[in-house]
Every structure is written in C-alpha cells, then in structure tokens.
C-alpha cells in the first residue's frame, strides 16, 4: 500500500486522537492509527486538530469588501445598509465585483473555508453581479465550491422585474432560489412570495434558501409558510430559512407549535450570529434583545442548524475576516451554548452540518471522501473555538493550497527564555 500523502497523528473533531490519514488521487484512502505504508509525502500533525474544511452557508459575495463605497453606514442599521447598497448598485462594474470576490475567496481559503453559499442580488436588470459571480464560481472551482442564490434583495413583488430577473438568473445557472418575504409590502405579499418561490424551486428541481423574518417583529411568521410549502411540495432536505431572527421574539406557545412543524418538514435553519447580534434589537431600549434565532431549541428538535458569516466589510458590517471560527465563537456566546456537547454542535454548524445543508458530496474524514482537510494550531474543536487559531495547512483534493506558520511567541522573562503557543492541554498542570 502506498499513498500520495500521509498525515500522521491527527486529532479528529469526533474526539479520536493519534489518527493517520492516507490520501491518494485526491481522495481519503485510509483513516486509522499506525498506518504502515509508503507515501510520497509524510507530514507529522501530532496533537493538531485536523478537520474537514469550514463551510459558510450564507454570504453576500457581490457586496463583500465594498466597505466605504460610496460611503460608510453611519447608523449601522440594516435599513441604512440596504439603502447604501442601493446607492452602490448602479456604480458596480463587472471587473470590480469579480476582483473583490476573488480577493475574498483568497482570504476564505487561507482561513480553511472549502465552500461558500453566496446570495447574489438579482434586482438589477443588468444582472451584472450574477454574471460576475458566475465567472468567479468557475474561476475558484479548483479550490473552493461556490453556490449562488438568486436573491431578490428589494423584494420579489416590491421591486419591478424581480421575478423575471430571478428566472433569468436561474436560467444562467444560479443554483438556489432565494427570497426576502419580510421585506415585501404586506404580510400577504410576503407569504405569496414564499409560495411562488417554492413553486419555482419545485418546478426546476432546485434548493431554496430565503432570508426569512430578519426582523424583531414577533408577528413576522413567514417561516411558518416556508415550512408549510416545504411540506406541501415535498422539498424537505433542500430548503433553508436564513436568519429567522423573529423567532427570538416570538411567543413561546407559538414557537412550541412551530419548531416541531419545522423538524417534520425537513427545513434547515441558517442563523448569522455576527450580523444578528449587531443588527437586531436596534429599536429596543433596555433590556436589548439579542435577536438570534432559537439555536439550541432548533437543534434539540432535530432541525439542522448551520451558521453563516453573511457579511465581511460591506454596507451592513464593517468587520469580519472570513473566519468561520469567529462566527462559531459568537454563536456559542449569543446562544449561551458553552456546554461541551453544545460547543461541539457549534463546531459542526460551521463544518459538517453546514456541508449537509448545502448538499456537498464527498465531505468528511472517511475513506472515499474528498481529501479536503484543514490542520489547525489547536487540539480539539473547543480549543479551536476558543483560540480561532492559525490554519497551519489547508488541503484541497490532497493538494496543499494554503500554508501559514504556527503562531508562537518568544518570551524572556526573569532570565527564563521560552517559546509559547496559546494552546493548552487541560489538566496538564496539576
């Protein structure tokens, strides 16, 4: 037996340690301790967490890295962000959208991201951003999976031509049907948009991923319609509700009926912790609501939950670094998921659960899976969330596509020279 590449002594996210991973022809060929075989290249990763890549299930690549164009968001609110994006849209050029998207993809890969689902605004009759991101999807394919969602940012019915633009975008090869029911003129229009968009997805055999109820209004219940349509049209397993922030503010009795219906329908939830915690609750005095959807309750009911980054340096959010561990870190805090199992679930929400929701094939660390792996300067998922550590090596189909030296600090204190990492093994000092 011989491999192209052999990683020795890995810690895996499921808790196994000292595992060797053999890779051949871009696929994982063996995952077991103490493999005795030759390899073209052998790398010692003893004590390091080796994970499948991070998966960002919700992003806006047509807007990323546009911070300051044409001006900054003064209030930091969602509505000023949408207005600002409206000012920027007519000034976008194909070349600039492609260049910013590619620059972001470089950052994402360096941070160990292997796939991104990006919404793309189709409310511009030119479909300029659609064409640009279709080009980007093709360009990055060797190192990053990019899924595109046809997103009617200004409302399917509120914005002229949105429906025909959305259909044109799907005809051009956009992968997923999007929506924004809470932004339509009335609740009724919102519900009607959900029904129409789900029918389009059913007719075309496509997944659905809608911005749904991204509001503090507890009576924004489009998730109910989305769940019912998922059931009616048999779309379970390929529908996601993104944000779902109104669920934070809903009446508990109503939610006790809603969550089991969501679980039964096969719908998935995609909260965006960094954005939800900064955008929601803006009209509150004190106490201020957090605004993130009910993550532990959804997970407990069996609804798949993945966390998205949503924005990096754009009209809605000036921060962000393409780091899904920063996203998971915020989720752990906002949802108060600091228990051991809860933190493991949050790690899964930026890795395997997210991959499942996006329908990625060959994802995972098992024989036959794609050899897509990230080696982290941390021992386990909990430490990864704690430290948001250096991504030492990123492999795509067995090829090393990004490498960053380990972060170490040289200390000289009281004449005791030492070199330290921030990693720490619990219980190692008694």
Question: Minimum CB separation from Fe ion for residue 97, in Å?
Answer: 17
Residue 82, token pair as written in the block: 């949408």
Report residue 39 CA to chain centroid gap: 34
Q: 5 or 312, CB closer to Fe ion?
A: 312
Question: Minimum CB separation from Fe ion for residue 206, in Å?
Answer: 18
Task: Give the CB-nearest residue to Fe ion.
Answer: 310
Residues with Cβ within 8 Å of residue 83, at least 6 apart in sequence? none
3-state secondary structure at position 55: strand
Contact mark string toward Fe ion, 290..329, x via CB under 5 A:
--------------------x-------------------
- Angle, helices 222-232/252-265, rounded to nearest 10 degrees: 30
Q: 310 or 372, CB closer to Fe ion?
A: 310
Residues with Cβ within 8 Å of residue 147, at least 6 apart in sequence? 115, 116, 117, 118, 175, 176, 358
Question: Minimum CB separation from Fe ion for residue 60, in Å?
Answer: 6
Q: 51 or 246, CB closer to Fe ion?
A: 246
Count of residues touching Fe ion (by CB under 5 A): 1
Q: Which residues from 85-104 bind Fe ion, rule CB under 5 A?
A: none
Question: Minimum CB separation from Fe ion for residue 314, in Å?
Answer: 10
3-state secondary structure at position 376: strand
CA distances from 374 to 50, 240, 365, 403 (A): 6, 26, 11, 10
| C-beta of residue 200 within 8 angstroms of C-beta of residue 192 | no
β partners of residue 395: 373, 400
Q: How many helices (H) and strands (E) does the chain have?
A: 14, 17
Q: 35 or 239, CB closer to Fe ion?
A: 239
Question: Minimum CB separation from Fe ion for residue 209, in Å?
Answer: 10
Q: 175 or 310, CB closer to Fe ion?
A: 310
CA distances from 218 to 184, 223, 245, 250 (A): 16, 11, 9, 4
Render 260-304 in DSSP notation, one character per residue.
HHHHHHT-EEE--HHHHHHHTTTT--SSPP-----HHHHHHTT--
Beta carbons within 10 angstroms of residue 283's beta carbon: 10
Element (H, E) at 84: helix 78-88
- Tell me if residue 403 is catalytic: no
Which of these is catalytic: 95, 163, 214, 352? 214
Q: Which residues from 262-291 bind Fe ion, rule CB under 5 A?
A: none
Question: Minimum CB separation from Fe ion for residue 184, in Å?
Answer: 16
Question: Minimum CB separation from Fe ion for residue 119, in Å?
Answer: 6
> Rounded CA gap, 194 and 74, in Å?
32
Q: 50 or 324, CB closer to Fe ion?
A: 324
Q: 232 or 282, CB closer to Fe ion?
A: 282
Q: 121 or 372, CB closer to Fe ion?
A: 121
Residues with Cβ within 8 Å of residue 315, at least 6 apart in sequence? 63, 66, 67, 73, 80, 81, 82, 84, 85, 88
Contact mark string toward Fe ion, 133..172, x via CB under 5 A:
----------------------------------------
Question: Minimum CB separation from Fe ion for residue 58, in Å?
Answer: 6
H-type helices in 112-266, by residue range? 128-140, 162-172, 187-204, 222-232, 246-249, 252-265
Please list the active-site residues.
214
Residue ranges that bind Fe ion, judged by CB under 5 A? 310
């Amino acid at each position: 037996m011989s491999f192209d590449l052999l990683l020795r002594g890995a810690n895996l996210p499921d808790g196994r340690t000292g595992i060797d991973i053999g890779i051949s022809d871009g696929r994982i060929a063996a995952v077991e301790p103490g493999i005795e075989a030759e390899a073209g290249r052998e790398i010692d990763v003893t004590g390091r967490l080796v994970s499948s890549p991070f998966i960002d299930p919700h992003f806006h690549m047509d807007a990323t890295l546009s911070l300051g164009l044409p001006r900054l968001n003064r209030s930091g609110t969602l509505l000023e962000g949408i207005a600002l994006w409206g000012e920027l849209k007519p000034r976008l050029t194909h070349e600039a959208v492609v260049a910013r998207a590619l620059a972001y993809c470089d950052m994402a890969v360096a941070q160990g991201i292997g796939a991104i689902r990006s919404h793309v605004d189709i409310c511009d009759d030119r479909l300029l951003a659609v064409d640009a991101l279709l080009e980007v999807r093709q360009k990055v394919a060797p190192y990053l999976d990019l899924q595109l969602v046809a997103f009617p940012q200004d409302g399917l019915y509120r914005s002229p031509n949105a429906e025909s633009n959305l259909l044109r975008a799907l005809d051009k090869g956009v992968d997923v049907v999007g929506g924004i029911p809470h932004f339509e003129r009335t609740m009724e229009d919102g519900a009607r948009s959900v029904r129409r968009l789900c029918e389009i997805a059913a007719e075309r055999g496509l997944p659905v991923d809608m911005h749904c109820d991204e509001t503090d209004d507890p009576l924004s219940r489009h998730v109910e319609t989305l769940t019912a349509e998922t059931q009616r049209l048999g779309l379970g397993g390929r529908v996601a509700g993104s944000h779902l922030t109104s669920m934070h503010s809903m009446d508990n009795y109503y939610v006790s009926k809603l969550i089991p219906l969501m679980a039964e329908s096969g719908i998935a939830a995609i909260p965006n912790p960094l954005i939800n915690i900064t955008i929601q609750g803006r009209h509150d005095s004190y106490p201020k609501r957090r605004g993130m959807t009910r993550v532990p309750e959804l997970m407990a009911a069996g609804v798949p939950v993945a966390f998205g980054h949503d924005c990096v340096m754009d009209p809605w959010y000036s921060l962000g670094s393409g780091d899904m561990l920063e996203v998971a870190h915020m989720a752990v805090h906002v949802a108060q998921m600091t228990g051991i199992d809860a933190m493991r679930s949050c790690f899964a929400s930026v890795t395997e659960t997210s991959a499942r929701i996006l329908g990625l094939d060959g994802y995972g660390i098992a024989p036959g899976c794609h050899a897509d792996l990230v080696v982290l300067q941390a021992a386990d998922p909990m430490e990864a969330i704690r430290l948001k550590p250096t991504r030492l090596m990123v492999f795509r189909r067995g090829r090393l596509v990004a490498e960053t030296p380990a972060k170490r600090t040289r200390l000289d204190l009281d004449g005791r020279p030492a070199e330290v990492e921030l990693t720490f093994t619990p219980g190692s000092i008694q």
